[in-house]
Amino acid sequence: MRAIFLAVLLAFGLIAILFVTLPSPAQAESNGLEFPGDENWDKNIGSINITHTVHAVAFDKNYLYVGEGYGSGDKHIRRWDGASWQSIANNVDGAVLELLPTAEGLYAGGYFTRTGSCSSCKRVAIWNGSNWSAVGNGIDGPVTVFALARDSNGKLYAGGDFGVMQLGGATWMSFNGGLPSSNTVFDMVLSGTLYIAGRYYNEEYEDYYPMVKSFNGNTWEDFDASFVPSANLSSIYAIEVTNEETLVIGGDFIEPVQRLSYLEQSNWTSFGNPDDPVLALAADSCGGLYIGGLFRKIDNSPNRFLAYYDGSSWQSLGDTFTINSKKVEVLDFYHGYLAVGGVFTQTLEEQTHRNIALWTGRDCVQVTASGTYTLYNWREPVVIHITEPGTLAEIRVQRFNKDHPAADATLTPNLKNGVYWQIEGLDSQGQPANGFVYTLTLPSIGFTPDDKDKICHYMSSISKWDCAASAFDAEKKTITRSGLTSFSEFTVGDNVGPNVISLRSFHTKPHDSAFSVVIFLMLGIGCLIYLRRGKG
């Protein structure tokens, strides 16, 4: 009888230990993506010393393109393949102010009459991967193209100090019907609807007014009726539509809203309160917004030239820009990567970059059914194949270009490879999803994988790494792991076993610790009673 009593006590104790050490499914979920630090700036992109202003940036296929602007000497249109820079137009005779990638090629717009060997390329040109060609009959005269857009039907639009033009066959035609007679378009965006932003000259009041309009297929609609000029502050330089279909504008306007505003139920609302003009906007895939410009403060807090808004709070991205930098003028977001151009000097560790920078941000994708979803699809993608979606409605990923904090130099040295990913899965209400099963494929950055390499899943509730793999691809340099049922933080391990225990094998929350203390007190009391009975 005593043996049975002691066995029950021991079993109860083991259950208590398991209760406080094993993670629950909810504990395995991420509690919101963290924001990375300066390590997420690319240290290799600044290998070229760009002395001209970078007015245009664009991602296309495996390249990042930049267009150089005003300054002495010929300008260049350059591309970066992830390792080195090439000039694809080395004698542009004016400023390149816009780059637009399409299926047909890369369009360039600006104030030039020559790109590379194409002497007929006036104001707009196209690169087919090998050569430059004129677009139509060119846009002639002393005019400047600031913006380009192409709709789903293949119609090409140009915006500039001439207003708006549309390419019809080989001829550029005015598209200004219904617009003020004297207007300048600084930016345009297509999101089902064509939106333009800029300024126009009001002849009655003899002053420039901010301009933002949309084309509904027949006529131009006004969104700028409430704007008035104030102390020559009268331009909208950037316009963007977020992935939640919110229209946002940035510029140097201050009446009735200032510098950064969004449209809600036909009314403009200011946010962020930048202390100087906003020149560039870029919406990401997660509902967030990058802004660049001349400002040095956001909401009265230091925030130099570049910031990120996640929908509720601001994050500074300009800490690496020197105090003598001038501005961020252009932004382009593509599958988690943000290209930044302007007039600035960036200091990263002991490296100095000028006028071009590359940031790795977060990337998100909406889940509608089982299938394959790819994130960071410009280079080194994260591929998630959903076999059972459960309540999964969105996948959100943040890559960090540094070692995971729990990768220990002594116990887990093979996990210190300079990169990890934080992944979360949300349901339609923005809460942690459940009931899903997926296969994860990650790039093996820094080494060629083999059958000894693993994808390692960090379980923060017990400070433990769980490592496994179901396949690898040495040519593509990827590792795959199937049968996963939770999201958290992952890295790739070079030559690791199935399980790696971190410095602290067990980690308990305060309420778990209190529970364990009660259990062990009960065990102690039980043992005392047992011993006293034994003596009797």
Q: For residue range 377-396, list pLDDT tens digits in order.
A: 999 999 999 999 999 999 99
533 three-state secondary structure: helix
Cβ(43)–Cβ(351) below 8 Å? yes
Given its phi and psi angles, is residue 505 left (phi above 0), alpha (psi -120 to 50 degrees) or beta?
A: alpha
| pLDDT value of position 187 | 98
Query: Buried b vs exposed e over 146-168: b needs ≥16 C-beta within 10 Å?
Result: bbbbbeeeeebbbbbbbbbbbbe
Of the candidate CATH numbers 3.20.20.10, 3.40.50.300, 2.130.10.10, 2.30.36.70, the domain formed by 99-112+139-361 belongs to 2.130.10.10
| pLDDT value of position 531 | 46
Most confident of 26-40, 60-74, 511-525: 60-74
The yes-or-no verdict on residue 244 having pLDDT over 80 is yes
Domain boundaries, the chain: 2-21+509-535, 31-36+364-501, 99-112+139-361
Enumerate residues 6+ apart whose C-beta is below 8 A from 307: 272, 290, 291, 298, 314, 315, 316, 317, 318
CA 410 to CA 404: how far, in whole Å? 14
Phi/psi of residue 531, nearest 5 degrees: -65, -40
Average pLDDT, whole number, for the chain? 87
Residue, of 114 and 483, whose pLDDT is higher: 483
| pLDDT tens string 197-210 | 999 988 888 889 99
Residue type, 497: G
| pLDDT value of position 117 | 86
The pair of three-digit structure tokens given for residue 155, joined into one six-digit string? 């119609």
DSSP H or E stretch at residue 160:
strand 156-160
Cβ(375)–Cβ(384) below 8 Å? yes
| pLDDT value of position 499 | 65
Share of the chain above pLDDT 90, in %: 67
The pTM of the full predicted model, rounded to 2 decimals, is 0.87
Q: Which of 134, 136, 125, 139 is nearest to 170 (CA)?
A: 136
Could you count the other beta carbons within 10 Å of the beta carbon of residue 191?
Answer: 14
Lowest mean pLDDT among 77-91, 262-276, 314-328, 513-527: 513-527
* Over residues 228-254, mean pLDDT: 90
| pLDDT value of position 45 | 86
* Over residues 29-41, mean pLDDT: 83
Enumerate residues 6+ apart whose C-beta is below 8 A from 286: 243, 310, 362, 363, 364, 396
Share of the chain above pLDDT 70, in %: 86
* Over residues 218-246, mean pLDDT: 88
Q: Which of 164, 171, 154 is nearest to 187 (CA)?
A: 164
Q: How confident is the model at residue 491 (pLDDT cuts 50, 70, 90)?
A: very high
Q: How confident is the model at residue 521 (pLDDT cuts 50, 70, 90)?
A: very low
Burial of 374 (0-12, 13-18, 19+ CB in 10 A): middle
The yes-or-no verdict on residue 484 having pLDDT over 70 is yes
Q: Which of 459, 458, 482, 478 is nearest to 469 (CA)?
A: 482
| pLDDT tens string 60-110 | 988 999 999 876 777 889 999 998 999 999 888 889 999 999 999 999 999
CA 152 to CA 47: how far, in whole Å? 37
Cβ(248)–Cβ(262) below 8 Å? yes
